[in-house]
Amino acid sequence: MKVLLYPHSMELGGSQLNAIQLAGSIRDRGHEVIVLSEAGPLVERVRKMALEHIELPAQRGRPSPKVIRMIGHLVQRRRIDVVHGYEWPPIIEAFLGGRVAHRTAVVGTVMSMSVASFLPRNVPLTVGTELIRRAAIDAGHRHVELLEPPVDTRADNPSIDGRSFRADQGVEPDEVLLAMVCRLVPDLKLEGLLSACDAVRELAVAGHRVRLMIVGDGPARGDVGRRAEEVNATAGYKVVLMAGEMADPRPAYAAADVIIGQGGSALRGMAFGKPLVVIGEEGFSELLTPESAPVFLQQGWYGLGSGSFGTGAPALRMALERLVRSQELRCELGLLGRRLAEQRFSLNHAAEVIENLYSSTMRNPELFERVLSDIVHVSAGLIGSKIGRKYQRWVGKASTEDSNARDLIAAVLANGKHSEMLSLSGERASTK
C-alpha cells in the first residue's frame, strides 16, 4: 500500500507523536508511507526515521482549499491508496481531497477527548477510549474502532538511565522527583500544572524532600513560571524546575520517580515503569492502582471533578504524599503501569489494527457510495461551527479543538458510568 499520513501539527504533542510512530511501524510492515505536514520540531524525527516528508504552508485556513487541492494532486500523481488524517482538519481535508475528488480510501484518527460533530460519518475512525467510540457510534458514525494511544514500549522502558539528567537538573539522589511532560497550554493542561505546583509546595513545606520538574513549552509558560517562582520563594529552595521543551523527553521520564499527567504522557510514564497520578480538570486527580485501572481503561487517562481524595491541590497532595513516603509503593505501582503498557498499548498492536483498517477500507465499496450524504453533513456542520466560533469570539469566549471534552466526561458522570471511580473514596487503604 501507499499511504499518505497527515498529522494535524508538528509541535511536540501526543497525537502527532503517535502519528509519526505509527507511520514508522506501518513502513516497517512493508508499506510506503509519506508524511504530509507543516514545519515543526517533529519534522526532524520524521527525517531521522527515513520517512518521506512533504511540507504544507504554515499560514492557511482550517480546512484549507489549498491543502485539499494538494492532497488531490498527491493522490493522483503518487497513486496513493489510503489517506490517513489525524484530528478533524486533516480528516476533512483528506475526505474532500481524497475520497470526494478521487474516490481514494480515507481513514481518520481522533485522539482528542471528543469527535467533532461535523466529521463525515462514513469515514472509518479510530478513537482512544471505549466511551468515545460508543459516543461516535451513537452520533451516527458507521465504522469506529478503538485504538488506545500506542506507546513504543521498546524505546520507552525502565532500563533507560536517568541519573545524569537528574544530576544536570540539580536533583539529589535522595529527593523524590515528580515530573510532568506536556504542552504548556491553557486548555486541559494549565489547571493541572498549577495544582501540581501548589501540591508540591505543601509537600516541601511539610518537610518532604521533593521536587517537581515541568518539561514542555507553550503559551501558558508565563502563568506556570510565575506560580513556580511563588512556590520556590515560599519553600526557600528550587522546588519547581522548569526544564523547557525537549525534542526527546525520554531522559526526563527515566529520571522521574513519579509521573503526573494525562493522555499520551501518562501512558509513556507507565511504559517507563513509573507510578502515575492522572490529572484532569475541575480539580480531578487519581492515583493509578489496581482499583482505578479499569476506570481509566474505560474512559481514558483523564477525568473531571472529584477523585478518591477529593478535588484540587489538597487532593493531589494526598495522592502524591503516599508515593513520596513509600518507595515500596512506587515500585509496586510502577510495575502495574509497565504491565498495562505492554499488554494494552504496544505500538506493534496499534500498527496491526491500522494496517487491517486500511485494507478493509480499500475493499469496502459501500463507503464510496455514501459520499453525497457526507458532503451535505460536513458542509452544514462546518458552516454551523464557524458561526459558533464567531459568536464565541464576539462574546469573548475562547474555543478549542477539544471544546466539548468536558461535555463528554460530564455525560459519563451523569449516566453513572463513573460510579466505580467515585466508589474508590472508601477503598484508599486497599493499596499500601
Q: What is the mean pLDDT of residues 212-241?
A: 97
Superfamily name and number for 2-150+346-390: Glycogen Phosphorylase B; (3.40.50.2000)
pLDDT for 149 = 84
pLDDT for 153 = 92
Of the listed ranges 57-71, 91-105, 363-377, the one predicted with least confidence? 363-377
Alpha-carbon Rg for the chain in angstroms? 22
Look at strands 82-86 and 2-6 and give their pairing: parallel
**pLDDT range class, residue 104, cuts 50, 70, 90:** very high
Same fold, 2-150+346-390 and 163-344+419-430: yes
Task: Tell me: pLDDT of 389 over 70.
Answer: no
Q: What is the mean pLDDT of residues 5-9?
A: 94
Residue for grid cell 505500538: 347
Cα distance between residue 11 and residue 199, in whole Å: 29
Q: pLDDT (tens digit, 9 = 90+) per residue, 331-358?
A: 999 999 999 999 889 888 899 999 999 9
Q: Please provide the size of the chain in residues.
A: 432
Of the listed ranges 124-138, 224-238, 373-387, the one predicted with least confidence? 373-387
**pLDDT range class, residue 390, cuts 50, 70, 90:** low
6 Cβ contact list (under 8 Å, min separation 6)? 35, 36, 37, 71, 83, 84, 85, 86, 90, 93, 94
The structural domains of the chain, with segments of one domain joined by +, span 2-150+346-390, 163-344+419-430
Task: Tell me: pLDDT of 386 over 70.
Answer: no
Largest Cα–Cα distance in the chain?
A: 67
Q: What is the mean pLDDT of residues 312-317?
A: 96
63: cis peptide before it, omega within 30°? Answer: yes
Task: Tell me: pLDDT of 412 over 70.
Answer: no
Kindly report the backbone phi and psi dihedral angles of residue 326, in degrees, each rounded to the nearest multiple of 5, phi listed first. Answer: -130, 105
- Quote the DSSP letter at residue 293: H
Q: Take residue 53 and report the three cell numbers written for it.
A: 516528508
Cα distance between residue 249 and residue 261, in whole Å: 14
pLDDT for 395 = 46
Q: pLDDT (tens digit, 9 = 90+) per residue, 254-264?
A: 999 999 999 88
Task: Tell me: pLDDT of 415 over 90.
Answer: no
Q: What is the mean pLDDT of residues 65-77?
A: 96
Task: Tell me: pLDDT of 72 over 50.
Answer: yes
% of the chain with per-residue pLDDT over 70: 88
What one-letter code names the amino acid at 359? S
pLDDT for 346 = 87
Cα distance between residue 2 and residue 361, in whole Å: 14
Sheet (strand 176-181) strand order: 240-244, 210-215, 176-181, 258-261, 276-279, 285-287
Q: Are 389 and 270 in contact (CB under 8 A)?
A: no
163-344+419-430 CATH fold: Rossmann fold (3.40.50)
Q: Are 214 and 242 in contact (CB under 8 A)?
A: yes
Q: Please indicate whether residue 322 or residue 394 has the higher confidence score (pLDDT).
A: 322
Q: pLDDT (tens digit, 9 = 90+) per residue, 356-376?
A: 999 999 998 776 677 888 888
Cα distance between residue 159 and residue 256, in whole Å: 13
pLDDT, mean over the chain: 88
406 Cβ contact list (under 8 Å, min separation 6)? 281, 282, 304
Q: Are 33 and 51 in contact (CB under 8 A)?
A: yes
What one-letter code names the amino acid at 12? L
Task: Tell me: pLDDT of 230 over 60.
Answer: yes
Kindly report the backbone phi and psi dihedral angles of residue 106, in degrees, each rounded to the nearest multiple of 5, phi listed first. Answer: -130, 135
Q: Are 111 and 129 in contact (CB under 8 A)?
A: no
